[in-house]
Structure 1
Amino acid sequence: MTPRPKAAWSRYRNSIGDRSGMFGALARAWAPERALYPGSYVDLSPSTVIPAVTYVDTDRRAEAFFGDVDLVRAELHGRTVPGAGTEVEFLAADYTTALAVPDQGFDLLISLYAGPVWENCRRYLKPGGLLIANASHGDASLAALDPTLRLEAAVTHRGETYLLDTDRLDRYLVPKNPDGNRPELIRAAGRGVGYTRPAFAYVFAYAPAGNPGAAPPTGG
């Protein structure tokens, strides 16, 4: 029997598209140095523009991919900007349990199609850091209701071209059904609420009590 090919980012891109452009736009605006990506599977795109990324997943295929250092290096070859991809770490772990990473150790937390990342991993984000989340599993919808988070940009895209919309942000995160826009209902449903003007993802700045200021965007 021919063995199944090892999971790889190059093949995964064929199904989800290349998100490098999204992280490139984010990096040009805020220049994060360290990112945490729970539920990453083998999506290596953040490492094309961010120096240090810690990926987290329970999938054994992801563990095998990131464990093959030569394969990861080959997948990033020719696709990184200067200084990016210098630290690629992987944790075979469930992000809903305590992770072996420092509290407030990251300036970017990534939540894409992975469930309640924000509520389980907020402790790892520095005050003034960024959360990028989509509404698929409800994370962006929960983030929108969190008073410690401030919407900084909406991510729109056409194909693999991503843009950060920082104008008139009050147009975004407006629920079609306000009655359903409650945390307990979002958690129970496991999906985001419908918005009158949806976006692919949303970028929030984290400003917990006692740390009210977060750096404003520098581009977009």
Structure 2
Amino acid sequence: MPLPKLYKKHHVDKEHTSIGLFEALDKKYTIKKVFYPGSHVHITPSLIFREVIYADSFKGTDKFFKDKETAAFIEQNRKYTAPPVFRFYQQDYNTPFEELGKEFDLVISQYAGFVGQAVKAYLKKGGLLVCNNSHGDASMASLDPDFELVAVYRRYADNKFSISEKNLEDYLIPKQGALPSREQLLKTMRGIAYTKSPSGYIFKKINE
């Protein structure tokens, strides 16, 4: 089965599938249901996690998810035994997802803005937000009393990531000046410059 063309172009050819991240998450945590807003065509999570809900407003992305080639690729390359379950919403993640409840163990935020803030209502208490700081989502989560930093991750290669829960007090320390407000982050969409920066962060939702 050939690779879906857009997935190959945007992720495989760029060695940016992040397969190692999802494998590391699966090994360390109990994750059954995943929500990936701003996913575009990044279907790697479905190779590791059986049930994934995707959402993106990028024009035509629904066509990719409806393509039989996409479903066949996931079916043939999944790392679990049960049939895969995935669904795609062609919509901005800032608009309500009427069909979804507080049901997810993991929300993925990768280079798509303030995903964690927009969809945290769908994350279970104790559920995880996995994000980077490219557009400030990790910075925003660090200011949010509903989230607690529980781990960081590092990328060594596309298929090799590590997760660490040690010395978390060393992270999220601004290089200079006072912490910006939530409003400032929303305006600039730039993450806080920290003294120590891993590849990404894992926050746990601690409030309902």
- 1:31 Cα deviation from its structure 2 partner: 2.4
For 1:146 and 1:60, how far apart are their aligned partners in 2?
31
**Residue deviations 1:146-170, cap 9 Å, x none?**
1121111111112212110211111
Q: Within 5 Å, give how 1:30-45 maps onto structure 2.
A: 30-45=29-44
**Residue deviations 1:86-122, cap 9 Å, x none?**
1011000111111133220211111111111122111
* TM-score, scaled to structure 1: 0.86
Query: What residue number does 1:60 align with?
Result: 59
Q: Within 5 Å, give how 1:68-147 maps onto structure 2.
A: 68=67, 70-83=68-81, 86-147=84-145
Unaligned 5+ residue runs, structure 1? 1-5, 210-220
* TM-score, scaled to structure 2: 0.90
Q: Which amino acid aligns with 1:34?
A: K
Equivalent residues of 2:75, 2:83 under 8 A apart: no
- 1:191 Cα deviation from its structure 2 partner: 1.4
SS of 1:204's partner is: strand
Unaligned 5+ residue runs, structure 2? none
SS of 1:60's partner is: coil
Query: What residue number does 2:168 align with?
Result: 169
Equivalent residues of 1:109, 1:131 under 8 A apart: yes
Give percent identity, aligned residues only: 32
Instruction: Rate the CA distance shift 1:64–1:182 in 2: closer, same or farther, 3 A.
Output: same
Q: Which amino acid aligns with 2:25?
A: L
Equivalent residues of 2:151, 2:203 under 8 A apart: yes
Query: What residue number does 2:205 align with?
Result: 206
Query: What residue number does 2:48 align with?
Result: 49
For 1:185 and 1:16, how far apart are their aligned partners in 2?
33
Instruction: Rate the CA distance shift 1:198–1:96 in 2: closer, same or farther, 3 A.
Output: same
Q: Number of residues paired by the alignment?
A: 203
Instruction: Rate the CA distance shift 1:35–1:180 in 2: closer, same or farther, 3 A.
Output: same
Aligned-residue RMSD, C-alpha:
1.8
Question: Which segment is superposed worse, 39-48 or 96-105?
Answer: 96-105
Equivalent residues of 1:144, 1:151 under 8 A apart: yes
For 2:196 and 2:180, how far apart are their aligned partners in 1?
15
**Residue deviations 1:169-208, cap 9 Å, x none?**
1111111124243322211111111111111211111110
For 1:173 and 1:79, how far apart are their aligned partners in 2?
37
